[in-house]
A and B are shown apart, each in its own frame.
Chain A
Amino acid sequence: MANLLWLQGGACSGNTMSFLNAEEPSACDLVTDFGINVLWHPSLGLELGEGVHKLLRDCVSGEIPLDIFVFEGTVVNAPNGTGNWNRFAGRPMKDWVRELSEAAQFVVAIGDCATWGGIPATAPNPSESSGMQFLKRDRGGALGAGFVSKAGLPAINIPGCPAHPDWVTQILVAVATGRAGDLKLDEFQRPATFFTSFTQTGCTRNMHFAYKVSATEFGQRKGCLFYDLGCRGPMTHSPCNRILWNRQSSKTRAGMPCLGCTEPEFPFFDLMPGTVFKTQTMMGVPKDMPTGVAKTGYIKLTAAAKAAAPAWAEQDIFVV
């Protein structure tokens, strides 16, 4: 049994929608089988009789024990630090966020907006948005760099635009079944079990990456998306190709370049002209190398890979 409160700030509800795609456990299973007691959620409203204001106040005061506080969306600070551009239940959402985080055993920031600021925090960041404990790569955010919740952990960051439902349910089930002690977080407070491997890990285009065969334009039946189409799979930490999306596929499998949405910089290069779906190069060499690879090594590898490339690598492979 664990009390869960889920609120949305500068949000699109995409993480909620993603969460509702879950099976095993489904959102309903979490309630009926794992004893997650959803105190309130903006779009899964349960009957509340006396009102959300009282509920929120009771959570803050501790009258209702708040085990898990999930926040989706950015913390909006505009205009001028007041937070009035996102009011909720009569006051700026950012004030609720601070008080509820202090009252909760675990604080879970779900999606890029709540973790790093995401799309709303893209320059010029009109809503003065930030994440819970980060703004892009900078520590601090709405709760401050030193924040820890009652259970002794900082905000658990589950990034992604949106986050995959399994990444979220694992945390909820771990807390509900008393295994929260096994949670290991990386330097960006992400669960290490998900965010140590790369998006590329398990990608169906890995052979084309290895033999340096590029998908030079969209809609092709072969080729790696890294070389021309701006794919960030080799530099992005996520299990998108280990735990598939909607039980079926992933963006890179379907032919869409990874946008790096689990990393703090998303959207990369602030979407400046010339940066969308195009690999950024410097004198013919990719500006961003696969993580940990040096330029000289990359050049040598290219020559060796080209020399070793088998004929089939140049033919269509994802054929009808």
Chain B
Amino acid sequence: MGEPAVQTLDISPVGRVEGDLDVRVDIDDGVVVNAWTSAELFRGFEIILRDKDPQAGLVVTPRACGICGASHLTCAAWALDTAWGTTVPRNAILARNLGQLTESLQSLPRHHYGLFMIDYTNKNYAASRYYAEAVKRWTPFTGTNYELGVTISGRPVEIYALLGGQWPHSSYMVPGGVMCAPTLTDVTRAWSILEHFRSNWFEPVWLGCSLERYEQIRSYDDFLAWLEEKPEHANSDLGLYWRMSQDIGLDKYGVGHGKYISWGYLPHEDRYNEPTIEGRNAAVIMKSGVYNGASDSHKLMDQVHTREDVTRAWYDEPGGLHPFDRTTAAISNNDMDPEGKYSWCTAVHHEDNGRLEAGPLARQLVAGGDHGESWQHTDPLVLDMYRRLGGASVALRHFARMHEGVKIYRQIERCLRELRLDDEWYIKPTETDGQGWGATEAIRGALCHWIDVRDGKISNYQIIAPTTWNVGPRADNGERGPIEESLIGTPIADPSDPVEVGHVCRSYDSCLVCTVHAHDAKTGEELARFQTA
């Protein structure tokens, strides 16, 4: 008897993606032909926040995600600032940006070694000429660079602790500013920590060159020339990552919709002191945007275009609502039904452009555009690679994440230089009713909060996380979620160990956990169950 034409793999849980994510894929002739992503945990933060103190979001939302807590806090604070009409002093904007940036810098080695590179030591890649070196460096816990990378990832958030007392889960950003008033010794300590991170991992291990040399890379050709230039470059963790990724074919799949979103982030310290929802796009250093790969075009993103469909999610609400109009009506029956409802994630989309991919790749593709303000940050590298390599892939998506590191590092330096220690850190606001919106870019992508304060309490609080964009189920018009779409075309070499599915999910750094059960598509009978981690 031959193999069934189409096999279905249910992957539950897919490990190393934070949270409970189940993935179901249909495989035809060794290639994924259909996919469903299903978020399997609901805690109801939006419901908890209803009727609570307006500032409750500052305490509750960092706890929505212990990995992106500073990012949630950033959104929660700016949402209240816009609702209350506060004035935020420049020091406070810098101190908030510092918090956001140090959390993101922490995440680079932690995600890279702790979650992503482990797959390169999978026995499926034993034939690669880089395999022995990969095992030596990246084996969990005992790999030389795994241990170094995971341990040093704790350093950047020491700077966060100087501002907020601890990471994760501080609430030091408040409407009107920040709670702290750092002194010279805090700033010099922060510089020392940053320098340690640079001289012990960033330059010698990750890049194999100075930050300055890396910053000269402005195009794909520059990058290839850099790779060839010295053995230190080719053999750095970045160089080896890139070369092995080509060797094991990670540049060949994980394409996705080819449409991207970034809210932009890092409000400029002199341009967002009177924060409004409408004024944000022109105030952020890293600009917002929607990039459409098919038409190779950029435009600004605006929160008014956000819509959520719930036909395929476990909620009972009308489709196509803007978050301000949502009620988060969870339903009790959450049976997994690929033909019907199958996730706690809603299907978020742009009212004109449909489903969009969020994340570091989106951020870098947006950074390549010439839309926005002339003073805003631009960087042509990843957009050039995207064009030259014919679109997205697992390899490019993760490259984009790590590429941002040098820029994050420079922005941290800039914040430390710009702080004026004798100036104010907080201007006490007057609490009023109103609607607010706060956004940022968590390391894993576009994050924002909407708040509606009425009668001195929260009447509605809504969060759309990068994982909501990426892991969402099908929209009302049937358009797949970004990860679902990215899984299409993925080759599965060994259906008993579909590591490729793990690669795609982890390249999104989605915030959820997954398992694989393999089904015979014709009979529905379970063939085997696999843990992909």
Contacts and interface: CB of A to CB of B under 8 A. Distances in A.
A191 interface: no
Interface string B164-206: 1111111110101111110110000100000000000000000
B274 interface: no
Interface of A: 8, 10-18, 20-23, 26-28, 31-32, 38, 40, 42-48, 50-53, 55, 74, 76, 78-80, 84-90, 118-120, 122-127, 129, 161-162, 217-221, 240, 244-257, 259, 261, 267, 270-277, 318-320
Contacts of B47: 124, 126
A12 B181 contact: no
Contact of B531 (A31, A48, A271): A48
A310 to B, nearest CB: 22
A43 B15 contact: yes
Nearest to B332: A79
24 contacts: A15-B66, A28-B142, A40-B533, A42-B18, A42-B513, A51-B530, A55-B531, A76-B41, A79-B333, A85-B334, A89-B12, A119-B59, A120-B44, A126-B44, A127-B43, A127-B44, A218-B174, A245-B161, A248-B161, A251-B166, A254-B172, A254-B180, A259-B171, A267-B56
Contacts of B170: 251, 254, 256
Contacts of B115: 43, 45
B484 to A, nearest CB: 19
A22 B152 CA distance: 10
Given A13-B66, A250-B165, A277-B55, A32 B142 contact: yes
Given A13-B66, A15-B66, 15 more contacts: A12-B64, A21-B154, A28-B151, A43-B115, A43-B513, A47-B122, A119-B60, A125-B48, A127-B43, A161-B169, A162-B169, A250-B165, A267-B59, A273-B54, A276-B58
A249 B142 CA distance: 30
B165 A320 contact: no
A213 B529 CA distance: 63
A28 B41 CA distance: 29
A319 B182 CA distance: 9
A14 B169 contact: yes
B158 A246 contact: yes
B66 A162 contact: yes
A298 B78 CA distance: 39
Overall SS of chain B's interface: loop
A294 B158 CA distance: 39
A26 B150 contact: yes
Nearest to B142: A32
A32 B142 CA distance: 7
A20 B146 contact: no
Contact of B334 (A84, A161, A252, A256): A84
Chain A to chain B: the 4 pairs with minimum beta-carbon distance, closest first = A14-B66, A45-B533, A219-B426, A126-B44
Which interface residue of A125, A161, A320 has the most chain B CB atoms within 10 A?
A: A320
Contacts of A12: 63-67, 69
B140 A271 contact: no
B40 interface: yes
Contact of A85 (B41, B150, B168, B180): B41
B20 A13 contact: no
B145 to A, nearest CB: 11
Which interface residue of A17, A42, A44, A249 has the most chain B CB atoms within 10 A?
A: A17
Given A17-B66, A119-B60, A28 B150 contact: yes
A218 B157 CA distance: 22
A238 B178 CA distance: 24
Contacts of B19: 13
B155 to A, nearest CB: 9
Contacts of A256: 164-165, 170-172, 179-180
Contacts of B110: 20
Contacts of B189: 248
Interface of B: 12-13, 15-20, 40-45, 47-48, 51-56, 58-60, 63-67, 69, 92, 110, 114-115, 118, 121-122, 140-142, 146-147, 150-151, 153-154, 157-158, 160-172, 174, 176-181, 183-184, 189, 330, 332-334, 421-422, 424-426, 428, 456-457, 513, 515, 517, 529-531, 533
Given A89-B515, A248-B162, A22 B154 contact: yes
A43 B114 contact: yes
Contacts of B12: 89-90
A218 B179 contact: yes
A26 B141 CA distance: 10
B64 A272 contact: no
Contact of A245 (B44, B147, B165, B425): B165
Given A218-B179, A218-B425, A16 B158 contact: no
A276 B59 contact: yes
Contacts of A31: 141-142
Contacts of A127: 42-44
B15 A45 contact: yes
A88 B515 CA distance: 9
A91 B330 CA distance: 20
A161 B332 contact: no
A245 B166 contact: yes
Contact of A254 (B53, B153, B162, B457): B162
Given A28-B146, A85-B42, A272 B52 contact: yes
A22 B158 CA distance: 11
A319 B183 contact: yes
A276 to B, nearest CB: 4
A26 B43 contact: no
Given A88-B13, A271-B60, A221 B181 contact: yes
Nearest to A46: B140
Contacts of A89: 12-13, 515
Given A21-B167, A246-B154, A246-B167, A255 B513 contact: no
A254 B16 contact: no
A246 B157 contact: yes
Given A28-B150, A85-B334, A246-B160, A129 B183 contact: no
Contact of A219 (B66, B122, B178): B178
A21 B48 contact: no
Nearest to A245: B166
A76 B315 CA distance: 18
A220 B181 contact: yes
A54 B35 CA distance: 25
Nearest to B52: A271
B17 to A, nearest CB: 8
